[in-house]
Amino acid sequence: MSEYVLELKNIAKRFGGVEVLHGVSFGLRPGEVHALLGENGAGKSTLIKVITGIHQPDGGEIFLNDKQVHFDDPLQARLAGIAAIYQELSLCPDLNVAENIFLGRQPTTVGGSINWRKLYSEADRLLTSLGVHLDLKAKARSLSIAQMQSVEIARAFSLNARILIMDEPTSSLTLKEVAELFGLVRRLRDEGTAIIFISHRLEELFEVADRVTVLRDGSYVDTRLVKDVTRDDLVRLMVGRTISNLFPKQDVKPGEIALKVEHLSLAGIFEDINFELHKGEILGMAGLVGAGRTDVARAIFGVVPPTSGTIQIEGRQVEIKSPQQAISLGLAYVPEDRQLHGLIPAMNITSNISLPILKEYARRGWLQDKAERSAAFSAARQMEVRANSIWQLARTLSGGNQQKVVLAKWLSTKPRILILDEPTRGIDVGTKAAVHALMSNLAAEGIAILMISSELPEVLGMSDRILVMHEGQMTALFSRAEATQEKIISAATQTIKTVRAL
């Protein structure tokens, strides 16, 4: 008998030609909360999907109670006692608590209709044993997110789960709800349930986890007792190096005005946006999600042209009606949503990079393969895209490399004004630092950069000036020297009372 209820040995997983898990081992003891830690792209979610049977490993072995198992699909894993609760909850909003707990497995009478009495008594028994107090007949949509999680957990235990996986369960909970959830987690642990806990909030690990396993770039790094590590230890294990210079912003003397926006408005979305962007300057745009920053960028780029206001590029007033026109004026826009707006996943790296200026690689419409290939290659090399060849399909690349391809694509248009919308969202720290270094170098070359970012350290670290938006309005414009985290947050959450003529 080994000490583990679940043991993974040398799990490997490949997607296409890319190996995303390199022989990861992991042991889960009964009655422990085991945190799984790693950056985005470290392989946490892939590992979870292997455990829950969504993915099948390409190498390695899984042991459940010392017996080797192989899950062809999620159902087999569930029947074996492995339950997972994800960020996105999966309750049916118009069914009540008890119905949701037994969804698809309602106890039935001899005639085949639902045995309601048994349904409610079983649900009641289950919730009582979990120490959760809920109205069994309340519709799921009336519950708080924490209560919905309790229902999901009850559902998991109705299947006799002995292993519970919680993927970022606290990301949308209030502090009080988090405390309640942790109370439940501890109770389950004390009763012998093994829990795998994933969270990006390191503080929570110290509060609830017993051991922590760190993954990096798809490899196992280390497993430690939580009481023996410090926060800094964990960060170093995750990143694998000391990031000495995350925000390598160089001092660039701003040149002449590259982009000037006056009274820019899009009816119902944003209004009266004014700013100047100088050559060699990085202007940060801060604000909450939904403040209208992306809409301003899209208006400038001609995706959805503004309803009023003016745009001047290098002193010349222009009316930008389409992205194509924006590109020809020297603008480039790296959009926020890589999958939706940035990348053509089923086309190869070359075609992705050449797309915005494809006409430059063609003579009278006929593609000149050689010109296209060499341009794409040098752009991909400049961005250090990691791939087997420039003919690899974009969708087979990792998130960070996809972002590099999108950047390569826009840099190959040789823009004079570059709009970056959340340029480092969802990419690993290494690529992130590379993107920041790139931004700094581009600014030093005299390119004007407008950077939208929801990450305050990034905004503070990279920007020469910071524009803050709230609910479609510009609420502040700070210089690098005067900007602080507090000032930005306060400007991003409070509307400045604007006097409007009636």
Partner 1 sequence: MKASTVSSTAAASQPANQINVNAPRKSFLARFQRWEWMLVALVVIAIVINSRLTPYFLNAQNLSRTSADFMELGLMMLPMVFIIITGNIDLSVASNLGMCASFMAVLWNLHVNIWIAAGAGLALATLGGLLNGFLIAKVKLPALVATLGTYAFFRGIAYVLLGDQAGRGYPPAFTYLGQGKIPGTLIPFSVGLFAVLAVVFGLVLHRTTFGRYIFSIGNNENASIYAGVQVARIKMTIYIVSGFMAGLAGLVLAARFGSTRPDIGTGLELTVITAAVLGGVDINGGIGTMPGAVLSLLLIGLVRFGMGLKNVQDQVQSIAIGSLLILSILLASVARTISASGLKFNWRNIATAAAFIIVFAAFFFFFFWSRAPVLKSVFG
**Which residues lie near partner 1 (CB under 8 A)?**
56, 72, 214, 216, 221-222, 233, 236-237, 240-246, 301, 303, 322-324, 326-327, 333, 335, 340-347, 351, 355-356, 358-359, 362, 365-367, 377, 380-381, 384-391, 409, 429-430, 432-434, 437
Rounded Cα distance, 434 and 60, in Å? 33
What is the chain's alpha carbon radius of gyration, rounded to the nearest angstrom? 26
CB of 230 to partner 1, least distance (A): 12
Rounded Cα distance, 193 and 162, in Å? 5
CB of 77 to partner 1, least distance (A): 15
Per DSSP bridges, beta strands 219-225 and 211-216 are antiparallel
CB of 119 to partner 1, least distance (A): 29
Closer by beta carbon to partner 1, 235 or else 477? 235
Closer by beta carbon to partner 1, 93 or else 457? 457
Across 428-485, where does the E strand assignment appear? 448-452, 465-470, 473-479
Of 167, 212, 224, 169, nearest in space to 47 by CA: 167
CB of 222 to partner 1, least distance (A): 7
φ, ψ for residue 181, nearest 5 deg: -60, -45
CB of 296 to partner 1, least distance (A): 15
Closer by beta carbon to partner 1, 75 or else 114? 75
Q: Which uninterrupted H or E stretch holds 369?
A: helix 369-382
Q: Which residues of 64-73 are buried (b: 16+ CB within 10 A; e: fewer)?
A: beeeeeebee
- Structure tokens given for 112: 């085949």
The most distant pair of C-alpha atoms in the chain lies apart, rounded to whole Å, by 82
The CB density around residue 80, as the number of other CB atoms within 10 Å, is 20
CB of 372 to partner 1, least distance (A): 9
Per DSSP bridges, beta strands 417-421 and 448-452 are parallel
Rounded Cα distance, 446 and 478, in Å? 21
The CB density around residue 86, as the number of other CB atoms within 10 Å, is 16
Closer by beta carbon to partner 1, 144 or else 389? 389
Closer by beta carbon to partner 1, 133 or else 370? 370
Closer by beta carbon to partner 1, 275 or else 377? 377
Listed in sequence order, the residues at least 6 apart from 441 whose beta carbon sits closer than 8 Å to its beta carbon are 250
Length of the chain counted residue by residue:
502
φ, ψ for residue 396, nearest 5 deg: -85, 0
CB of 15 to partner 1, least distance (A): 12
CB of 214 to partner 1, least distance (A): 8
Closer by beta carbon to partner 1, 287 or else 335? 335
What residues are paired with 13 via a beta bridge?
A: 21
CB of 437 to partner 1, least distance (A): 6
CB of 492 to partner 1, least distance (A): 26
CB of 386 to partner 1, least distance (A): 5
Closer by beta carbon to partner 1, 76 or else 493? 76
Closer by beta carbon to partner 1, 3 or else 72? 72
Q: CA angle 456-462-468, nearest 5°?
A: 50
Closer by beta carbon to partner 1, 367 or else 489? 367
Question: DSSP secondary-structure letter at 309?
Answer: E
Of 233, 195, 216, 201, nearest in space to 38 by CA: 216
Closer by beta carbon to partner 1, 164 or else 297? 297
Q: Assess contact for 276 and 256: CB atoms under 8 A.
A: no
Closer by beta carbon to partner 1, 268 or else 365? 365
The CB density around residue 147, as the number of other CB atoms within 10 Å, is 20
Listed in sequence order, the residues at least 6 apart from 135 whose beta carbon sits closer than 8 Å to its beta carbon are 97
CB of 155 to partner 1, least distance (A): 25
Q: In what order do the strands lie in the sheet with 67-69?
A: 18-28, 6-15, 59-64, 67-69
